[in-house]
Amino acid sequence: MIYYFDNAATTKIKPEVLNAMIPYLSKEYGNPSSLYSIGRNAKRAIEDAREKVAKLINANKNEIYFTSCGSESDNTAIKGIAYRYKGKGNHIITSKIEHHAILESCKDLEKKGFKITYLNVNENGIVDLNELEESINDKTILISIMFANNEIGTIQPIEKIAKIAKSHNIIFHTDAVQAAGNIPIDVKDMGIDMLSISGHKINAPKGVGALYVKQGIEFDKFMNGGHQERNKRAGTENLAEIVGFGKACEIAKNNIENHNKYLKELRDYFISELMKTEKNIKINGSMKNRLPGNMNISIKGVDATKLLLELDKKGICISTGSACNSGETTPSHVLTAIGLKSDDAKSAIRVTFGENNTKEEIDFLIENICKYIKK
């Protein structure tokens, strides 16, 4: 039996998503670029999925580009804008708590002469809008601030950031890999120019993602070859996964309110029940502006990695940081940025809930955390 509480790392594919994919892994195997009927069927399926992804964030269909993952979407956004607008300026603003897909893209650009400002966050994990304003100069071409953080779940003031970017005529990108499908997103209302999403965080398979780019914004491609994705991303499309991704977006869109409410209920149940027994717990990140399914806590005196391995023996899956960090012994850059001392960062666990979780499972998790602490 698996008790899965690591939905920020990845999610289980929904049966409806798998069912939607199966025909495109069997009889509908045409290449979407082929002109005969099974090719045209494949093309139609991709365009149908594009419409569904667009609807999730209230974008237009022709503003969605399929990619292989959230990391590719982030890389394309950062580097695609940097190279396209380098004649206008070489300055990019981001934050210290971004995912490595953003941070490493920025580091790569630094080696090529770009200047990057990494904004601080406060103890709740939120960027300071005054610092953002003050960082802007006449060479700033892009602001990229994540919608919600993958470790502590904090949600940034996206609309305010978008407004600041717009008032300075700067492109605004947001990494919404953790936010999409969990909280409502409206790129038009919120003033977002570019946005990254990943399939496997919203019950679609691993290996598919999308980048939203507002109509009229130019960006350089980094995959050369065929003319797929309106000549912006070469390579034969990942047909079945794109279809599954579309289905997952459709389900997420139709169910977002209930999903959000249920995850919040599970999260609040977990923390309140745990705190009844364990007093030495510190919640990391804002409780007010937080993803519904995210809880990140430091348990005083506990080695989070040892706890994780002990829970694993019972079939319980949690995380000590972002999945991409596992194996690293240095404290997470996110927890360090919100001011945690090394010991508190090393005693931090991330528990992220999904629709499959139940309160009974949470009771089992709490029982085993408490047992370990006592031991």
Catalytic residue among 69, 106, 317, 324: 324
Backbone angles phi, psi at 219, to 5 degrees: -150, 150
Tell me if 352 contacts ligand PLP by CB under 6 A.
Answer: no
Task: Pull the structure tokens for residue 218.
Answer: 């130019």
Encoded amino acid at 82, one letter:
A
In this complex, which beta carbon is closest to ligand PLP, that of residue 140 or of residue 150?
150
Chain residue at closest Cβ approach to ligand PLP: 70
Residue pointed to by tokens 């009889």: 27
Strands 64-67 and 209-213: antiparallel
Give me the 196-235 binding string for ligand PLP, x by CB under 6 A, dash otherwise: --x-x--------x--------------------------
Strands 140-144 and 91-95: parallel
In this complex, which beta carbon is closest to ligand PLP, that of residue 71 or of residue 332?
71
Tell me if 320 contacts ligand PLP by CB under 6 A.
Answer: no
Give the span between the Cα atoms of 209 and 242, in whole angstroms.
8
Give the span between the Cα atoms of 374 and 306, in whole angstroms.
14
Task: Pull the structure tokens for residue 217.
Answer: 């914004």
Tell me if 250 contacts ligand PLP by CB under 6 A.
Answer: no
Q: Which stretch binds ligand PLP (CB under 6 A): 49-57, 68-76, 125-133, 349-357?
A: 68-76
Of how many residues is the chain composed? 375
Angle separating helix axes 359-374 and 239-277, nearest 10 degrees: 60
Tell me if 70 contacts ligand PLP by CB under 6 A.
Answer: yes
Give the span between the Cα atoms of 82 and 65, in whole angstroms.
18
Which position among 64, 69, 162, 348 is part of the footprint of ligand PLP (CB under 6 A)? Answer: 69
In this complex, which beta carbon is closest to ligand PLP, that of residue 150 or of residue 347?
150
Tell me if 238 contacts ligand PLP by CB under 6 A.
Answer: no
Q: Which stretch binds ligand PLP (CB under 6 A): 66-74, 136-144, 166-174, 255-263?
A: 66-74
Q: Which of residues 159-178 bind ligand PLP (CB under 6 A)?
A: 175, 177-178
As a whole number of Å, the end-to-end CA separation of the chain is: 24
In this complex, which beta carbon is closest to ligand PLP, that of residue 195 or of residue 311?
195
In this complex, which beta carbon is closest to ligand PLP, that of residue 91 or of residue 200?
200
Q: Three-state DSSP class for 217?
A: coil
Q: Is 324 a catalytic residue?
A: yes
Backbone angles phi, psi at 144, to 5 degrees: -125, 110
Q: Which of residues 125-154 bind ligand PLP (CB under 6 A)?
A: 146, 150
DSSP 25: G
Give contact residues for ligand PLP (rule: CB under 6 A). 69-71, 74, 99, 101, 146, 150, 175, 177-178, 198, 200, 209, 322-323
Q: Which residues are tagged catalytic?
A: 324
